[in-house]
Amino acid sequence: MARGRVTIREVAVRAGVSTATASRALSGNHPVPAATRARVVRAARELDYVANAHARALVGGGRKMAAVVVRQVTSPFYAQVAEGVEAEAADRGWLCVVGATGGDPQREMDFVRLMREEGARLVILVGGVVEDDAYRSRVAQYAQALDASGARLVLCGRPAPDPGIPALVVEFDNEAGARAITGYLLSAGHRRIVFLGGLPGNTALDARVAGYRAALAEHGLPPEAAHVVDCGLGRPAGLRAMTELLKGRREFTAVFAGDDMVAAGALRAIAEAALSVPDDISVVGYNDIPLAEDFNPPLTTVRTPAEELGRAAVRIALRDAASAAGRHHLLGTHIVVRRSVGPPRGAL
Amino acid sequence: MARGRVTIREVAVRAGVSTATASRALSGNHPVPAATRARVVRAARELDYVANAHARALVGGGRKMAAVVVRQVTSPFYAQVAEGVEAEAADRGWLCVVGATGGDPQREMDFVRLMREEGARLVILVGGVVEDDAYRSRVAQYAQALDASGARLVLCGRPAPDPGIPALVVEFDNEAGARAITGYLLSAGHRRIVFLGGLPGNTALDARVAGYRAALAEHGLPPEAAHVVDCGLGRPAGLRAMTELLKGRREFTAVFAGDDMVAAGALRAIAEAALSVPDDISVVGYNDIPLAEDFNPPLTTVRTPAEELGRAAVRIALRDAASAAGRHHLLGTHIVVRRSVGPPRGAL
DNA sequence: ATGAAAGCGCTAACAA
DNA sequence: TTGTTAGCGCTTTCAT
């Protein structure tokens, strides 16, 4: 057998027809007599022929391919979003590619460029970012370039640099979610709540902090009641920051972690200090990752339907006309109550 | 601006050169005077040109693309393997695509076919399977087809149907890992250990069960001492099976969960029965997923360096000559001790 | 109903 | 150094 891929020419020869007929028989969108088709199909199967996607794309305008770009696949939240995109894309017969950037803007740019080269028709960028000028111009460029070649860009959980830009944005209402769970802590009696995991400039986190402050204000607390620790996200950050916090005099009765991974770190730090959750300190998280229920104790958190976010991103992108660019879609969230919150120490 | 992608011809026109010169200037592997190159590069940038990967692949033999196929990205273990593949591929300038099958052989076949069409040069299939005739012929077909077009197939954690087949296999030594952790339980004094999460026919699980039985035998226990519950994997399965087990009289003092997700379910079931780990029952898992440390209590488990498995898969595939097909690589594992194991109740 | 031929965008021989 | 040309594998007119 010849090394290299079997081409349609070989199939045609074996079936005793021209390549044009072979192509028609295989694609099935042209009338071809059943007998001829059968011969061609059989030849193709015998040779184990698969069409060259590149050649086909070159002439036919390309395969339906979507790309999701996340920081890392091992983050439970991102993985769920990617799975949602994957599932929705698969349902529609699209191929889905996922790329990880490790948070490096350069790798993000490279990946987007790659997707442009490959002819992806849908690019989905996931996750909050620090919204600086570099970000704005980068995204404006993606949007413009993708749009020029007829592809769609959707921003998941990150802002469009400019409403006029040809990109869709779909995200959770971070401020509302944060307000709700802060309210929950407040109604459990807590008044000194620290927010752990701020990341100044990051749009998602800033919104959560804003919701936290808003809830405090609504309950009549002065602005100084807010205590935000800007340690960033991730379990190690949460562990470190909480350990630090526990060294001083405890000025708080509850902690609101920026996401569930930070909460995991905080929980661990508290346990290492031989303190109890929720008896000594109450803790809440954000995202409700699949294993939040298995933390010690099971974590009260804000459920952000991540898979639905991914599905919505492709659904919206494929439904909306290009003219709907700039549309902003907000998805709702809700609190899931477990066992990490109790009344403040001595409140009873 | 013209709708659709800008081609090299437009760049050439704008730079006042032929397409060949433009191509040479852009690719950089042919001597082109600096001045000419500068003009071309500038024209390309002004037009925001990106090469059509399909056209390039058609003539140049294709981009370096690797594909990883997993059951689901939301499984922490698979996500880590995928991240390893991704990282190693990126290090070498390869594009990496990840596909999820949901465990459906049909989707697996579709995805492999797609990858053949796209010209992937490396396909990595991850995860244990039930090794039946359908599986064997499916994989034999993948291997043969991929090999015919010069692509590599690597099987991660699943067996090659036949040593002669053109595929590499790299996996963990499941039997050794299971034997070690069972031995750990045994030396803590446990004699009645149930294995939770068998999946008869699944190669990975069967190997773990074999290791478990081997350890029991080594400690002089009779074959009847083994108690395997074939509930399959996943947190819900572990929860359900453990709940069931707890209803009867407790004939065991420890449980060896088939993987950490099963352990998570089992832990939850035990907590719901108001029993304590490790005071009443000891529990161990398998894989050491990132959050195993955050379980209640922190889980003693077998560390399988998942990311390293992914990296090794691409490293080996790219290094070994095609003639090395059929080679079998075994990666080692080790126990990580945390707090879910204690002496058996009443052993003191 | 089928074949011949053009052409998708690009790179690599071959000329000049 | 640069341009001309052929051709990658496929689909799709346009003839027949």
Answer whether residue B1 shows pLDDT above 80.
no
Between A128 and B326, the more confident residue is A128
Answer whether residue A178 shows pLDDT above 50.
yes
Residues of A in contact with B267 (CB under 8 A): 294
For residue B66, count other CB atoms closer than 10 A to its CB. Answer: 28
Domains in chain A and their CATH numbers?
A: 8-50 (no CATH), 62-172+306-331 (3.40.50.2300), 174-304 (3.40.50.2300)
Mean local confidence (pLDDT), B177-183: 98
Q: Which positions in strand C are less than 7 Å from the protein's CB atoms? A: 1-5, 7-13
The DSSP element (H or E) to which A335 belongs, if any, is strand A334-336
Answer whether residue B2 shows pLDDT above 50.
no
For residue A237, count other CB atoms closer than 10 A to its CB. Answer: 22
Burial A287-310 (b: 16+ CB within 10 A, else e): bbbbbbbbbbbbbbbbbbbbbbbb
C-alpha radius of gyration, chain A, whole number: 26
Mean local confidence (pLDDT), A11-31: 88
Answer whether residue A333 shows pLDDT above 60.
yes
The angle subtended at Cα B233 by Cα B300 and Cα B214, nearest 5°, is 60
| Residue whose CA lies closest to nucleotide C5 C1' | A20
| Closest-lying nucleotide for B54 based on CA to C1' | C9
Q: Estimate in Å the CA B88 to C1' C7 gap, whole number.
A: 39
Mean local confidence (pLDDT), A125-152: 90
Tokens 């290009």 found at: A322
Using alpha carbons, select from B125, B106, B100, B84 the residue that is nearest to residue A85. B100
Report pLDDT digits (tens) over B213-261: 999 999 999 999 999 999 999 999 999 999 999 999 999 999 999 999 9
Alpha-carbon B89 to chain mean position: 14
Distance CA A71, CA A202 (A): 14
Between A4 and B102, the more confident residue is B102
Q: In this structure, what are the phi and psi dihedrals at residue A129, rounded to the nearest 5 degrees? A: -145, 165
What value does the mean pLDDT of chain A take? 91
Pick from A117, A272, A288 the residue to mutate for testing the B interface (most B CBs within 10 Å): A117
Q: In the prediction, which pLDDT does A161 show?
A: 83
pTM, two decimal places: 0.90
Q: In the prediction, which pLDDT does B346 show?
A: 67
| Residue whose CA lies closest to nucleotide C6 C1' | A59
Ordered alpha helix ranges (H), chain A:
8-15, 19-27, 34-47, 53-60, 76-91, 105-118, 133-148, 174-187, 203-218, 235-247, 260-272, 306-319
| Closest-lying nucleotide for A11 based on CA to C1' | D9
Between A20 and B310, the more confident residue is B310
B314 pLDDT band (50/70/90 cuts)? very high
Structure tokens at B267: 């832990």
Answer whether residue A60 shows pLDDT above 80.
no
